[in-house]
Amino acid sequence: MTPHNLPRFDHNPLRYTALGNSGLFVSELCLGTMTFGGDEDIWGLIGQLQQEQADELVKIALEAGINFIDTANIYGFGASERIVGQSLKNLGVRREDVVLATKVLGPMGEGPNARGASRGHIMSECKASLARLQTDYIDLYQIHGFDPATPIEETLEALNTLVQQGHVRYVGLSNWAAWQVMKAIGITWARNLCPVTSLQAYYTLVGRDLEREVIPMLASEKVGLMVWSPLAGGYLSGKYEDPDVSEENRRTKFDFPPVNRERGKEVIKVMREVADGKQIDGEPVTVAQIALAWLLHQEPVSSVIVGAKRPDQLKANIRAAQIRLSDDERKALDEVSRIPEEYPGWMMAMMAGYRNPSES
């Protein structure tokens, strides 16, 4: 693979879309790197891939047309970022050919100021991330979660400083509530700060809570949505609901994100029906690929983050982009996974008819 001619799978072109209300185009699939660099810690439970193994996955992703890579300073306590940066060097990738995203918030030291979204922590950790990634700028710098101890104004001012300095090009949030994102947007308007470009959040067929408040807000404010854990921590592979799986093997090591298994069983049943008989490149379509395909059919989604421990897993995830669900299949999946109605949602839907000309 040469820097000026990254190979692409011509039979599997990925779609590209602008991230939020920006001119930054990203692939509909994003390579997640939480499996890179784990040790005998929580990150080791997710993945312990080292440089050579990571290089192979990064190469597969780039060759498939993925131009978007997501990591975080806390993944492997910096190891993931170091491996990602070295992979791009090892593969001879031009910096402008890849969109690098990383995150800040989690504890990177023992002291009380070595964590959070304070100005001090953001500024020092951005510098450390740049060094580990071996780059002079980060395309998308994200706050990994909400910090109740730091004023949102302080966080946004720090991000704006990094953009003005040229170390960061776009800023995003992750795991924030709708009101928190909206408050941040209001502050950026009032203070003329760099805008919030994206939100990284959990969204799956067994976790559609985002549709209550967050997704309508993102659509209204033109903020892009990046989806993490699209297989619900492996649950939507279907293997945990196999009749032969013992209760001890059902996500016992890392039961995350939480899943309502009673509802989940019914969702997976319909997913299996949708997958039945479908093929991609002569291979049977899997339940996991249906989960990814459903997300890729959702209009609010800008990019779906896919990670893997093995090349075959990553290739299977990438093939999901070729699946086109029929209207009936989408309807069946939507109905079985639909979240229960809550107030004020049901009241708003009912009263919206007052102003809908088609209903008058």
Q: Determine, yes or no, domain membership for 289.
A: yes
**Are 115 and 121 a contacting pair, CB within 8 Å?**
yes
Reported as a pLDDT band with limits 50, 70 and 90, residue 356 is confident
Q: Determine, yes or no, domain membership for 358.
A: no
Tell me: the pLDDT tens digits for 166-196?
A: 999 999 999 999 999 999 999 999 999 999 9
* pLDDT-wise least confident of 25-29, 47-51, 293-297, 336-340: 47-51
Total structural domains within the chain? 1
Q: Determine, yes or no, domain membership for 5.
A: no
Q: In the numeric block, which tokens belong to residue 270? A: 């319909």
Q: Note the pLDDT of residue 268.
A: 97
Side-chain half-sphere CA neighbours of 227 within 13 A: 32
Q: Determine, yes or no, domain membership for 110.
A: yes
Please report where in the chains the tokens 């008058």 appear, as a residue: 360
Q: Determine, yes or no, domain membership for 115.
A: yes
Residues annotated as catalytic are 75
CATH number, residue 147: 3.20.20.100
SS (H, E, C) 192-220: CCCCEEEEEEECECCECHHHCCHHHHHHH
CA distance 285 to 271: 10
Nearest C-alpha neighbor of 225 from the set 250, 192, 196: 196
Would you give the distance in Å from CA 91 to the centre of its chain?
A: 24
Q: In the numeric block, which tokens belong to residue 12? A: 């599997």
**Are 313 and 41 a contacting pair, CB within 8 Å?**
no
- Which residues constitute the domain of residue 299? 16-353
* pLDDT-wise least confident of 45-54, 110-119, 349-358: 349-358
Number of other CB atoms surrounding residue 183 within 10 Å: 15
Q: What percent of the chain has pLDDT over 90?
A: 83
Q: Determine, yes or no, domain membership for 124.
A: yes
Q: Note the pLDDT of residue 41.
A: 77
Q: Note the pLDDT of residue 82.
A: 98
Q: Determine, yes or no, domain membership for 359.
A: no
Give how far Cα 176 sits from Cα of 105, 191, 199, 227, 313, Å: 12, 20, 8, 13, 30
Q: Note the pLDDT of residue 251.
A: 54
Mean pLDDT of 133-142: 98
Q: Determine, yes or no, domain membership for 11.
A: no
Sign (positive/negative) of CA torsion 271, 272, 276, 279? positive
pLDDT of 250 over the 60 cut: no
Peptide linkage before 340 cis (omega within 30 of 0):
no
Reported as a pLDDT band with limits 50, 70 and 90, residue 47 is confident
DSSP 3-state helix, strand, coil percentages of the chain (rounded to 5)? 45, 15, 40
pLDDT of 42 over the 70 cut: yes
Tell me: the pLDDT tens digits for 149-161?
A: 999 999 999 999 9
Q: Note the pLDDT of residue 9.
A: 43
Mean pLDDT of 54-79: 97
